[in-house]
Amino acid sequence: MKVVGGLFLNRLALFLPLVLFAALTIVLLLGLDKDPSELPSVLVGEPFPSFSLPALHDADKTLDERDVIGEVVLVNIWATWCFACRIEHAMLNQLAEQGVKVIGLNYKDNREAAITWLNERGDPYAFSVFDERGRLGIDLGVYGAPETYLLDATGTIRHRRVGVVDDRVWNNEFRDLYAQLMAVQR
Amino acid sequence: MTVELGHIALIIALCLACIQAVVPMVGSFSGYTHWMRVGHSMAVGQFVFVALSFACLTAAFIQDDFSVAYVANNSNTLLPLQFKISAVWGAHEGSLLLWALILSGWSTAVALCSGKLPLILSARVLSVLGAISVGFALFLLLTSNPFDRILPIPPLEGGDLNPLLQDFGLIVHPPMLYMGYVGFSVPFAFAIAALIGGQFDSAWARWSRPWINIAWVFLTIGISLGSWWAYYELGWGGWWFWDPVENASFMPWLAGTALMHSIAATEKRGVFRSWTLLLAILTFSLSLLGTFLVRSGILTSVHAFASDPERGIFILIFLGIVVGGSLLLFALRGPTMRSVTTYSGWSRETMLLINNVFLVSSMAMILIGTLYPLLADVLDMGKISVGPPYFNIFFVPLMSGLMICLGFAGFTRWKNTEGRALLHKGVIPSIVSLVMAFVLPMFMVDKLSWSNYSLTAVVTLLLVLWVVTMSLEDLWLKSRGKLSSLRGLSGSYWGMLVAHIGLAVCALGVGLSTAYDAQTDLRMLPGDKTELGGYQFQFVGVERVQGPNFIAYRGNVEVKSGGELIVRLSPEKRNYTSGGQVMTEADIDGQLHRDLYVSLGEPLGNQAWAIRFQVKPFVRCIWLGGLLIGLGGLLAALDKRYRRRRLRKGADESSGGLVFE
Amino acid sequence: MNKLRKQRLQVVLLIIVAGALASGLVIYMLGQNVNYFYTPSQIARGEAPEGVFLRAGGMVVEGSLVRDMDSLALEFKVTDGTSVLVVQHTGILPDLFGEGEAAIAAGKVDQNLVLQATEVLAKHDENYMPPEVAESMSEAYLDKRKTAAGTQ
């Protein structure tokens, strides 16, 4: 009896580290899922926030949410201080050429630098909103740049991407939804 | 072109690593000697190509090649050369390449120094190391390629290296730390090889021990450097924050220390076999876990690299395979690792076991505290953070308990020790320690004019003096009072002595600086004075100065003691031109018995400034202690018995010890 | 062999007992030392316990930073887009602190719903917002809109 008992306890004890590790892995996996850029934004399914901000290129012109709502669009948060945005920019140019409407939200940036930046790299945006203080960013719950929101024709936010939108991201996260929304729009 | 070369070199290294991972292992089962030897050459080859890759990345930095995204994000034309080079490992992708480089370096070291190991063992060890290398190379190439280009228009200027990282500390701290982290992959590989082969004896312990020691030394120094760097670089006088990233480096150290002690018993007496194997797996697992925590974005921390869940998933899968696989192997092969000898009472084995319980408990406690916020978030219990008090409340008693037991270390005998004899040895030291511990703080109060008699100081001194007096008594007894017999004591013994005293010195620094730390934040106008910790500080004024890539306000503070000028301190508030980041550069006058620490807060208008003054007694002992601990480990690693035995006349004495070139 | 087995059994039992004790202690201490994060809206609604050490944060309201002339006492306001929280602190503000930037303060809420902060943190890059703050922003915005819709 003693022999059997001792052996069993021994065996059990040896598996304990593995069991603990498995539990840990589950916690970490769930934690990754909770990562903000994975989780849909609080605002997904909600209308785009109202705002009143100047246009980037024309300081006298004031834009509000009505300029954003009405078509299926991408709203892209960008800034000159954001290096990942440079990597993303080529993709945005490509999307614009393919006929995707992209609206820029220039976030916490310097106006002249931003305009120069677009002149140097090409401007994929139908227009850019100049959010110097990040006001609209607050309402959207923006973490920083780059971020991209996909809006449908009624102005409802349908998807949010925190981070660079490249080929892979576009194909996995945006392309099908975009096509769907465009079909509905017609 | 160099960039593409670097990329290709990395791919080649991956291929070599794949061969290294598979062929020797297969060869070890089938008995093909040639296949088993392949591991050695593959390891060296892999190192060559990873080094080439690393060199290419470094070249890109030196040449200001901003078409490379990683360079553009982390460097700048104005950046001084030494920081351009250290910026290579300043962010995620590059530091990962450093990991890979160091891993291949350790593998090469194993390949070159395993002449006396049975081929089966070294083949398996290199296979495991190869598998880990494959994981890291894949991680780099698939998710974190440092060689990605920005096209079509590369920026003309880079984004700059975070000013906090533009420092001597960045040049040394990460490489040192990684040498330690990665170094524990070698004992890990030895453990896996032992589990696979079922061969697990004193010889195995003797072969793997130096690797453990050396990795541990690097980790010790790396952590000490990190703490020291945070102290003077972050500008506010803190040196340990129980930050998740700090914890991620400390946990492997605790497990590694336990491993070092456990394997001593395994080598000498064949006990603790399961513990040693488990600790070897645990230490490296903690290194990998630390890597995961820091790079996956799962924990927000001031140190953490930018997050990317895709990377997180990759590391998690890698972690699952490596750690899960090894723990499964451990569980299945466990019964073959029975210890065959007994020990009793107050033997050295018992003390080592107690010691390891203290260490592993501390590690577990820290792990729970670090992961708890994540668990709470997953369970939707809100966004919480675990404050330092949690860690301190456990860590201090555990370490104190450890230090008490530590005192007896040298006196314990293997297999059994007379409990009473042990206590006898402790009588004089405990009396001496008690008396001094109560008396000394009184002098501290007088001489340095603090107003409190501190209990923390008493307890600290008690523990520190206990360890020191017991260690010295042991030394006295072992050398039988003769200076000449000191030469006869082994490297292992000196290592133990120095390391334990180093721990005491470190504890002295921690305890006394906590007990007597004096700090004040004040609004000062030029000419204002203040008194703190027995020193008189006078704020003279602030001027504007120009640095290589920053503009700064430089303050001028005179420090006097008893009317005599001791030092002029010039703390700075820097504004870095390229990123616009503001940084506080404190000025410190460091002596063994106290640091004078002044940092500029912010301008308050009308020439007034908010300034922080600190007098931190004995804080330097913390890092001095850390260095001593590392030195101790080094002495132990250099013990003669690991080196080639001298050939006796007519007989080959080399019986399996490692060969050091 | 009996001695060996007995020894091992003793060790195992010791480990189990010690482990249980330790776990209990750890869970207790965690509970005592956990700091929850509250948004200005939650504090305004009275959801934050008074006199308990907690963290709160939001965007620093422009023009709200006021300093005392003779000491380092200061006061500023943070908002999550809906409610405003007054924070009082004595000391030096971190380098990354700025009006219009995100800040997190740690301390206790007094009976006037003012946060008496012992620490003010602004660890993140000036252009990035701590996730807790960002999330609370958009939640507050949603609440605001729902309230507005409800009153129509």
Please write the tens of the pLDDT for every residue from C21-80: 888 888 888 888 888 888 888 899 888 888 888 999 888 888 889 988 888 899 999 988
Pair C44, C86 in one domain: yes
CA–CA separation, B14 and B367 (whole Å)? 32
Range of the domain at A24: 2-31
- B378 vs A34: CB contact, 8 Å cut-off? yes
What average pLDDT does the segment C122-149 reach?
A: 69
Residue B110 vs residue B1, higher pLDDT: B110
Pair C20, C95 in one domain: no
Is B39 inside any structural domain? no
Residues of chain C contacting residue A134, judged by C-beta atoms under 8 Å apart? 59, 100
Residue-wise pLDDT for B485-504, tens only, equals: 777 788 889 999 999 999 99
The yes/no answer to whether this complex scores an ipTM above 0.90 is: no
What average pLDDT does the segment B275-304 reach?
A: 79
**Res. A3: pLDDT tops 50:** no
DSSP of C19-75: HHHHHHHHHHHHHHHEEEEE-HHHHHTT-SPTTSEEEEEEEEPTT--EE-SSSSEEE
Q: What is the pLDDT of residue B298?
A: 67
**Res. A34: pLDDT tops 50:** yes
Least confident of B104-113, B549-558, C95-104: C95-104
Least confident of A127-136, B83-92, B149-158, B191-200: B149-158
* The three-state (H, E, C) secondary structure of B202-257, written as one string: HHHHHHHHHHHHHHHHHHHHHHHHHHHHHHHHCCCCCCCCCCHHHHHHHHHHHHHH
Please report, for the domain that includes residue C124, its CATH number. Answer: 2.40.50.140
Pair A134, A74 in one domain: yes
- B384 vs C96: CB contact, 8 Å cut-off? no
**Res. B121: pLDDT tops 80:** yes
Q: What is the pLDDT of residue B558?
A: 93
How many domains in chain B?
1
Pair A99, A173 in one domain: yes
Place of tokens 């800040």: C103
The count of other CB atoms within 10 Å of the CB of residue B368 is 18
Is A43 inside any structural domain? no
List the subunits that have 3+ CB pairs under 8 angstroms with C.
A, B
Residue A51 DSSP symbol: -
- B324 vs A10: CB contact, 8 Å cut-off? no
Which chain C residue is nearest to residue B345, measuring alpha carbons?
C7
Pair C9, C78 in one domain: no
- C8 vs A6: CB contact, 8 Å cut-off? yes
Nearest to B522 among C72, C126, C130 (CB): C72
Pair A93, A161 in one domain: yes
Residue pairs between chains B and C whose CB atoms are closer than 8 Å: 77
Best residue in B523, B539, B607, B609 for a mutation probing chain C (most C CBs within 10 Å): B523
Which range has the top average pLDDT, B5-9, B347-351, C24-28, C50-54?
B5-9
Residues of chain A contacting residue C127, judged by C-beta atoms under 8 Å apart? 79, 81-82, 107-108, 144-145
Is B580 inside any structural domain? yes
Residue pairs between chains A and B whose CB atoms are closer than 8 Å: 86
% of chain B surpassing 70 pLDDT: 92
Is B534 inside any structural domain? yes
Is B559 inside any structural domain? yes
Is A46 inside any structural domain? no
- C134 vs A36: CB contact, 8 Å cut-off? yes
Judge contact between B212 and B259, C-beta under 8 A. Answer: yes
Q: How far is A144 from chain C (nearest CA, A)?
A: 5
Is A42 inside any structural domain? no
Is B615 inside any structural domain? yes
Best residue in A7, A16, A18, A92 for a mutation probing chain B (most B CBs within 10 Å): A18
Which chain B residue is nearest to residue C122, measuring alpha carbons?
B302
Residue B171 DSSP symbol: H
Q: What is the pLDDT of residue B308?
A: 63
**Res. B55: pLDDT tops 90:** yes
Three-state DSSP class for B318? Answer: helix
Partnered with residue A102 across adjacent β-strands are A74, A125
- Given pLDDT bands bounded at 50, 70 and 90, which one contains residue B652? very low
The count of other CB atoms within 10 Å of the CB of residue A136 is 21
How many domains in chain A?
2
Is B544 inside any structural domain? yes
Range of the domain at C54: 37-151
Is B201 inside any structural domain? no
Structure tokens at B406: 């530590």
How many domains in chain C?
2
CA–CA separation, B127 and B111 (whole Å)? 11
Is A66 inside any structural domain? yes
The pTM of this model reads 0.86
Q: How far is B347 from chain C (nearest CA, A)?
A: 14
Range of the domain at B581: 518-620
CA angle C43, C44, C49 (to 5 degrees): 35
Judge contact between B266 and B258, C-beta under 8 A. Answer: no
Judge contact between C93 and C74, C-beta under 8 A. Answer: yes
Pair C30, C104 in one domain: no
Which chain A residue is nearest to residue B73, measuring alpha carbons?
A83
Which chain C residue is nearest to residue B393, measuring alpha carbons?
C29
List the subunits that have 3+ CB pairs under 8 angstroms with A.
B, C
CA–CA separation, B211 and B73 (whole Å)? 36
**Selection from B404, B409, B423 nearest residue B492 by Cα:** B409
Pair A63, A151 in one domain: yes
Pair A158, A92 in one domain: yes
Best residue in B371, B381, B383 for a mutation probing chain C (most C CBs within 10 Å): B383
Q: What is the pLDDT of residue B661?
A: 25
- C92 vs B602: CB contact, 8 Å cut-off? yes
Interface residues from chain C to A (CB-CB < 8 Å): 5, 8-9, 12, 59, 62, 81, 100, 125, 127-129, 131, 134-135, 137-139, 141-142, 145
Least confident of B62-66, B295-299, B527-531: B295-299
Pair A111, A173 in one domain: yes
Pair C73, C147 in one domain: yes
Pair C51, C83 in one domain: yes
CA–CA separation, B223 and B20 (whole Å)? 31
Pair A170, A78 in one domain: yes
What average pLDDT does the segment B515-528 reach?
A: 90
